[in-house]
Amino acid sequence: MNTNEDTGGKPRAILLASDLGPRSDRALDRAIRLARDWDARLVVATVVEHTAEEERAMLLRDPPGWYRAEDPAHAAERRLLEDVSARGVQVSLRVERGQPAECLLQVAAEEGCGLVVTGVARHEALGRMVLGSTVDRLARRSPVPVLVVRNRAHAPYRRMVVASDWSASAERAFQAATSLFPDAATSVLHGFEVPMVGLLDTARDETIARVRDEAMAEGRAFVERCRPASGAGSVSLVVERSDPATLLRLYAGQFPVDLAVVGTHGRSALSGVMLGSVARRVLEESPVDTLVVPDPRVRSA
C-alpha cells in the first residue's frame, strides 16, 4: 500500500506513537504541526502493556475503600483526549493492548500512515537522550519513515543534514526527506576514515587530502543521482575525516541544524530487523530531531 500517493510525497496520515509521558509533548506538538502543514489526518496511539496491568494490580491489592479502579485503556484514552483537544486537526485515537512496537506498527498499517512520529524515552545528565526499546524497535522495523523528536517544535524544519555513505539507502533517505520537507535547506554529511593513517609519515597529509577529494567526487555524483528539485547546486556537501555520528553532533552544534536524516542501512542491507551500525549511532547521538528512512532493499526482501 502506498501511503503517500497523490500528495506530492506528503503522507495522508501520520501516526503519533505516545507513551503519555511528559517528553511525548514535544512529539505531539511536532506531529500536530506536520498534520496542519500537510493537511493530513493524525492518528494518536498508545499501548497498554500486559505487564503494566499486572504490576498495577499487585500494587493495589488493598486499596482505600473510596478507590474505584479505572480500566487502564480507558485511562489512556482519557489522557490522549486531553492532550489533543482543541488542536485544530483531524485526530483519531487508538489505545491498544500488547507489545508496544508491534501494536504501533499494526496501527500504522491499518490507518495507512506514511510517517511515524515518536519521542525519546527520557533525558539524562550531560544532555544524553535515551531512546527506549520501543523507539529502537520502531526504527528497526517500520516500513515507513520514523521521525524521532528531541526538541520543541518552534517552527517548520528550516535546515536538515542527510548522513550519507553514497549508498542506495542514503539516496532513498535523501529523496524521502527532500520530498517531505522541500523548503528546508539541505546539506549532505559524509564522514570518512583513512585506513592505517597513524602509520603514515610524510605522506599522511597528502593521503588524507586525496581520500577527501575522492569522497567529494563521490558526493557530487551522489547528489546528481538524487536529482534534488532545486538542482544539485542547492545542496551543500560536508566531507570530513570523522566518524559520521560524531561529525553530525559537531556540525549540528556549530550550525543551525534542526533535522538529521539517515537511512537504516549503508552499503550492505543485512536484515530487516536491525539498524546498520552507523544509522544506530546517528540515531542515538543526534542532538536534533532525526528522520530514519527504511532501506528499500530490506523492505522488499
Confidence at residue 57, expressed as pLDDT on a 0 to 100 scale: 57
pTM value is: 0.84
Q: List, in order of start, the domains of the chain with CATH numbers.
A: 1-154 (3.40.50.620), 155-301 (3.40.50.620)
- What is the pLDDT at residue 83? 67
Q: At how many degrees (to 10) do helices 277-285 and 244-254 cross? A: 30
pLDDT of amino acid 61? 67
pLDDT of residue 4: 59
For the chain (length 301 residues), average pLDDT per consecutive 10?
56 90 83 93 86 56 68 68 69 88 94 94 46 80 93 94 92 94 94 70 77 93 90 89 91 93 69 63 91 74 45
> Which residue type is seen at 198?
G
Listed residue (193, 290, 209, 219) closest to 248, CA to CA: 290
- Residues 35 and 68: their CA atoms lie apart, in Å, by 37
* Per-residue pLDDT, 50: 62
* Bridge partner list, 163: 189
Cell (9 digits) for 175: 529523496
pLDDT at 22: 66
